[in-house]
Structure 1
Amino acid sequence: MRSRIKAIVFDMDGTLVDSTEAHIESWIEACKRAKIYPNYEEVRALMGRTSEDIARSILDRHGKCGLSAQELAKRKDELFECRFIDRIRAFPYAKELLKVLHQRGLYIAVVSSNPRRLVVKVLKSKTLHKYVDTVVGQDEVNRGKPHPEPILLALSRLRVSPREAIVVGDSTYDIMAAKAAGVEAIGICSGLSNSVKLREAGAKFVFRDLRELYEKLDDILF
């Protein structure tokens, strides 16, 4: 039987790579340098959104610090790249999963709430980039996840319709964006959200990790 699925759209942080803690630490350090002090749980609850959205939320709660949301987000991204990016590791089975999808002739997109340049750098550092057909970063769209714009941009580049794609992500924002785009969603419990939250957000399937998804791939695609 031939699958109707032609493309898989992956989130990156918390889905393909274990980077959530590095991002949180980057935010806390960037805020500390700006003399504002959000706590760990507060920052973690904001993960999955674009950097500017996160910065805006922090500034709304903690008051002005002399920086705009754009400036604070830029400082955080610079810190992440300089001090924390080396701590990131690819999740087990990330490379194996991308490789087998690539070998089967499926298009692979990575859609992230981080700037495109940073996404590409992380993918290259983990040698995942060679399986990826297109990358969409937050700086390429007007509205980030949970808005569907980033996913729809990736699909338009691949010339694939929403019904011919699947989104894989660890955050309710990923699932909500997929649902809004008319794309089937798979939740992975390796990052921000548990199985209950992912299902409530609209995930058709939820897996513990990428290994389980890898093992159930034929059930998903056919």
Structure 2
Amino acid sequence: MTKAFLFDLDGTLIDTMPAHFKTWQIVVKEMGSPLEGESLMNQLYGNGAELMRRIVPGSNFTEEEAREIVAAKEERYRALYGNEITVLEGAREFLDEALAKNIPMGIGTASNQANIDFALDKLDLRRYLSAIVGADDVQLSKPHPETWLKLAEELNTPPEHCIVFEDAPKGIEAALEAGMKAIAITGHFSANDFGAYENILQIVPSLNVLNINELLYL
């Protein structure tokens, strides 16, 4: 059976993490959070109330309040830094080759639909994708496996035939829980940060060092 390629978006296909981080720094400082630098970066996964309670210690936001804060942050991110986002080195070439080989591809991300649409249309990435699962489509964010399992279902591919491409350990953990193999992309995390996950096939600095033909037979 043909493999399906399941991609995270931010930090895996597109270079947005510095912009997201700068925006979160502004937001949490305004909310009185003591987190900054690496302490803040390590907490930037997931979504909704669970995320906000971690990055603003002592807070007790309702899910509705948290989603409003996150949505406002994302709007601010697009306004401040939207013109700076780019496709990561090697990503488009990898997508072109996979598309030519008719490999089913989709995105599983914690971004909301507005951010997804903004990035895919601005960078002309939508044409590569057969399915998209974002924050608005799931109940539980990574490291819960729901995102990857739902994306595999939409791609009509069993989890054991899916390869996840991720730049964050929590996304790799979600792939492990979903029964999927994964490729770890180093960037904001080092190779050592991925050492605990037995589902990793390779740890690479960028997608363009991968051999797609080899991946199909792993």
TM superposition score normalised by structure 2? 0.90
Q: Which residue pairs with 1:204 in the alignment?
A: 201
Q: Which runs of 5+ in 1 are unaligned?
A: none
Q: Which residue pairs with 1:72 in the alignment?
A: 69
Q: Which residue pairs with 2:139 in the alignment?
A: 142
Taking the aligned partners of 2:85 and 2:139, their CA distance within structure 1 comes to 28
More helix by share: 1
Q: Which residue pairs with 1:221 in the alignment?
A: 216
How far the C-alpha of 1:52 sits from its partner, in A, is 4.4
Q: Which runs of 5+ in 2 are unaligned?
A: none
How far the C-alpha of 1:211 sits from its partner, in A, is 1.7
Percent identity, please. Answer: 25
Taking the aligned partners of 2:26 and 2:58, their CA distance within structure 1 comes to 15
Equivalent residue in structure 2 for 1:91, among 79, 88, 91: 88
Trace 1:122-133 onto structure 2 (pairs within 5 A): 122-133=119-130
Q: Which residue pairs with 1:102 in the alignment?
A: 99
Trace 1:100-179 onto structure 2 (pairs within 5 A): 100-179=97-176
Structure 1 residues 100, 41: closer, same or farther in 2, change over 3 A? same
Structure 1 residues 48, 99: closer, same or farther in 2, change over 3 A? farther
Tell whether the 8 Å contact from 1:8 to 1:109 is kept in structure 2 after alignment.
yes
Structure 1 residues 52, 89: closer, same or farther in 2, change over 3 A? farther
Where do 4+ consecutive residues of structure 1 move more than 6 Å?
Answer: 64-67
How far the C-alpha of 1:16 sits from its partner, in A, is 0.6
Structure 1 residues 72, 98: closer, same or farther in 2, change over 3 A? same
* 1:27 maps to 2:18: no
Q: CA RMSD in A?
A: 2.1
TM superposition score normalised by structure 1? 0.88
SS at the partner of 2:147?
Answer: helix
